[in-house]
Amino acid sequence: MMYIKDMPPADRPRERIATAGAHALSDRELVSAVLGSGIRGKRIDLLADEVLSILDRVGCGLSYDDLRAVSGLGEAKSSVLCAAFELARRVHSPSPSRIRVPADVLPAIRHYADRKQEHFLSVSLNGAHEIIAVRVVSIGLVNRTIVHPREVFADPLTDRAAAVIVAHNHPSGQVQPSMEDRDVTRRLTAAGETLGLKLLDHVVFSALGYYSFLEHGEL
What is the CA 181 to chain-centroid distance, rounded? 18
DSSP, collapsed to helix, strand or coil, labels residue 79 as helix
pLDDT at residue 92, rounded to an integer: 57
Answer yes or no: are the C-beta atoms of 129 and 171 closer than 8 Å.
Answer: no
pLDDT at residue 193, rounded to an integer: 93
* CA angle, 201 then 119 then 152, to 5°: 55
Q: 102-212 adopts what CATH topology?
A: Cytidine Deaminase; domain 2 (3.40.140)
What is the per-residue pLDDT across 160-189, written as a single tens digit (0 to 9) for each? Answer: 999 999 999 999 899 999 999 999 999 999
Structural domain boundaries of the chain? 4-92, 102-212
Amino acid at 161: A
Decide: pTM greater than 0.85.
Answer: no
In whole angstroms, how far apart are CA 115 and each of 20, 55, 110, 150?
21, 13, 10, 24
Task: Please report which confidence band the pLDDT of residue 9 belongs to, taking 50, 70 and 90 as the band edges.
Answer: low
- Report the candidate in 193, 217, 209, 191 with the shortest Cα–Cα distance to residue 201: 217
What is the per-residue pLDDT across 54-90, written as a single tens digit (0 to 9) for each? Answer: 887 776 667 888 888 887 788 888 888 888 887 776 6
Answer yes or no: are the C-beta atoms of 150 and 137 closer than 8 Å.
Answer: no
pLDDT at residue 94, rounded to an integer: 45
Hey, which residues does 130 pair with through a beta bridge? 98
